[in-house]
């Protein structure tokens, strides 16, 4: 019997001191939380039968670790942006059916286009082969 099923059989809900439902576990082992989940540094959210995916904070770094045999997908319908907290600076922008932009100090430096790439600034390379 799974841990979630055992917990569900013990109690369908866990309530806080105000008698509000904090956690609900249904018969399909789906867990619903009424509010945020707080974990101490070093504690992990572990997913998968073989603990394939972990999300945790070490105190010095935040980590998403995928150790499974499959791929880790980060999906967005129209755009995926990697940036800092508050979205003040973007490091990389991935557009559906469009350009991928890499930035330095929030300035666009490398962009894919339908015909190749555009580079803003200088390019340093150990070698260059030009065809066409």
82-109: pLDDT as tens digits: 999 888 999 999 999 999 999 999 999 9
| Cα gap 46→56, rounded to integer Å | 9
> Closest Cα partner for 102 from 124, 80, 86?
80
Q: Indicate the average pLDDT of the chain.
A: 85
Residues of the chain above pLDDT 90, percent: 52
The pLDDT of residue 12: 47
The pLDDT of residue 24: 85
In this predicted structure, the answer to whether residue 6 has a pLDDT above a threshold of 70 is no
- CB contact at 8 A, 95 and 79: yes
Q: How confident is the model at residue 4 (pLDDT cuts 50, 70, 90)?
A: low
- CB contact at 8 A, 57 and 63: yes
The pLDDT of residue 80: 94
> Closest Cα partner for 122 from 131, 109, 112, 113?
109
Token output for 24: 């609900």
The pLDDT of residue 55: 94
* Residue 75, number of CB atoms within 10 A of its CB: 5
């Amino acid at each position: 019997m799974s841990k979630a099923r055992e917990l569900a059989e013990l109690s369908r809900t866990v309530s806080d001191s105000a008698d509000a439902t904090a956690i609900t576990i249904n018969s399909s082992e789906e867990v619903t939380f009424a509010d945020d989940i707080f974990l101490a540094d070093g504690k992990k959210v572990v997913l998968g039968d073989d603990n394939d995916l972990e999300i945790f904070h070490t105190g010095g770094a935040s980590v998403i670790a995928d150790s499974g045999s499959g791929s880790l997908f980060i999906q967005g319908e129209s755009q995926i942006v990697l940036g800092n907290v508050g979205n003040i600076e973007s490091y990389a922008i991935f557009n559906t059916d469009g350009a991928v932009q890499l930035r330095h100090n929030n300035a666009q430096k490398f962009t894919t286009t339908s015909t190749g790439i555009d580079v803003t600034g200088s390019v340093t390379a150990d070698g260059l082969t030009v065809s066409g």
